[in-house]
């Protein structure tokens, strides 16, 4: 894994729950390919904003 990929993986996707991009990518590698699936697998979207901030970022990861 190159350095840029490691740094990218440390970026917060779900700010409310403090979930990093790396956690989402691990589930994508295991075959999770929907926003709902990633939210369920990581716990994202259940914070105080109810996914308003992280949902667009999760969609971006899946593109």
Length of the chain, in residues: 63
Applying CB under 6 A, among 25, 26, 37, 47 the residue interacting with ligand FES is: 47
Applying CB under 6 A, among 22, 27, 40, 53 the residue interacting with ligand FES is: 53
Nearer to ligand FES, 9 or 53 (CB): 53
Applying CB under 6 A, among 16, 32, 35, 38 the residue interacting with ligand FES is: 16
Q: How far is the CB of 50 from ligand FES (least distance, A)?
A: 6
Angle at 56 between CA 55 and CA 58, to 5 degrees: 65
């Amino acid at each position: 894994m190159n350095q840029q990929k490691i740094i990218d993986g440390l970026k917060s996707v779900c700010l409310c729950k403090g979930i990093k991009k790396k956690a989402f990518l691990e589930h994508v590698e295991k075959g999770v390919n929907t926003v709902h699936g990633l939210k369920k697998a990581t716990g994202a979207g259940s914070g105080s904003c109810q996914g308003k901030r992280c949902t667009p970022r999760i969609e971006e990861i899946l593109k």
